[in-house]
Amino acid sequence: MKSTLLVSAVQQPCNADRQTNLDFSIAKIHEAAAGNADLVVLPELHLGPYFCQSEDYNNFDLAQPIPGPATEILSAVAKKLNIVIVSTIFEKRAPGLYHNTAVVFDKDGSIAGKYRKMHIPDDPGFYEKYYFTPGDLGFKPIETSIGKLGVLVCWDQWYPEAARLMALAGAELLIYPTAIGWDPEDTPEEQQRQLNAWITIQRSHAVANGIPVISCNRIGFEQAPDSASGINFWGNSFIAGPQGEIIASADDSETQLLSCTIDRARAERVRQIWPFLRDRRIDEFGDLTRRFID
């Protein structure tokens, strides 16, 4: 196993048609591979516009099986470029059963594993419960040729329990493909508070678990169907080290390939000097499985 990893995250717009978005993603994967990257992460549901802004049964036609057309293409790209790819796909598992699913392709082109999004939001402009069944694969890292990847998806990033369970199962990286943005009607002050909270919670997962975090968001305004409103996806993709330090970051509107080197030994050393896993009072954590303590 390599002592260091060169990792990349693609911050891109996803508001065009499927082929255009896919071609853009693949071009950025080629760019990452040309820089000798071991891993490249794509934004959540990067194949198309964020369709969950409305509840429309016609959008189920966007889903595809895994394996399927998109995975076949990305599998071939991973094999050709000898790179690990993390993609997120609207999965058609069966008629009436759909998931928001992260797929990890190993360097040989094989599907190393899947993760089905566990936490499904239902907010104005984010009507995901209409489309996605909560995941049933658990919080289990995906074993690849470059190590164990703790892949989670967007709304999962707000839950410390999800990050912790991935870490306890041996994840060496936490990876968050994301589609999150501002309501244009919110004040600039509220938008800044939301962005700060989003960055802070994910950096805290790195700190609490002593492992790096890759957060990969889309950019650009996407108008809601039959409405003047929409979502301005705020970008700000970043890669943080095991103490939450920002190693690489993007702004709120720039198309960018973030790349940096992750030092495995340093992550191990951080866990040794901050032994949070050692000192956990697991004998007193039983109430965490309750919805609320009255």
Lay out the sheet containing 256-263: strands in order across. Answer: 111-116, 97-105, 84-94, 39-41, 4-11, 256-263
- The candidate with the shortest Cα–Cα distance to 111, out of 147, 136, 87, 140, is 87
Catalytic residue, chosen from 117, 128, 216, 222, is: 117
pLDDT over threshold 90, residue 232? yes
Confidence at residue 53, expressed as pLDDT on a 0 to 100 scale: 96
Handedness of CA 248, 84, 235, 255 (dihedral sign): positive
Catalytic residue, chosen from 28, 92, 107, 154, is: 154
Confidence at residue 196, expressed as pLDDT on a 0 to 100 scale: 98
Confidence at residue 278, expressed as pLDDT on a 0 to 100 scale: 96
- Whether 134 and 165 have beta carbons less than 8 Å apart is answered as no
| pTM greater than 0.85 | yes
Confidence at residue 2, expressed as pLDDT on a 0 to 100 scale: 83
pLDDT over threshold 80, residue 191? yes
% of the chain with per-residue pLDDT over 90: 96
pLDDT over threshold 80, residue 226? no
44 a catalytic residue = yes
Mean pLDDT, residues 39-61: 97
Confidence at residue 227, expressed as pLDDT on a 0 to 100 scale: 78
The 10s digit of each residue's pLDDT in 129-142 is 999 999 999 999 99
Catalytic residue, chosen from 44, 128, 172, 222, is: 44
pLDDT over threshold 80, residue 1? no
* 4-283 maps to CATH 3.30.1780.10: no
Confidence at residue 248, expressed as pLDDT on a 0 to 100 scale: 98
Q: Which residue has the higher pLDDT, 226 or 57?
A: 57
Confidence at residue 228, expressed as pLDDT on a 0 to 100 scale: 80
The 10s digit of each residue's pLDDT in 136-181 is 999 999 999 999 999 999 999 999 999 999 999 999 999 999 999 9
Residue type, 76: A
Q: How many whole angstroms separate alpha carbon 19 and alpha carbon 133?
A: 26
260 a catalytic residue = no
Residue 241: burial class (beta carbons within 10 Å; 0-12, 13-18, 19+): buried
The 10s digit of each residue's pLDDT in 7-32 is 999 999 999 999 999 999 999 999 99
Q: Which residue has the higher pLDDT, 250 or 225?
A: 250
Q: Which residue has the higher pLDDT, 228 or 156?
A: 156
- Whether 199 and 250 have beta carbons less than 8 Å apart is answered as no
Confidence at residue 195, expressed as pLDDT on a 0 to 100 scale: 98
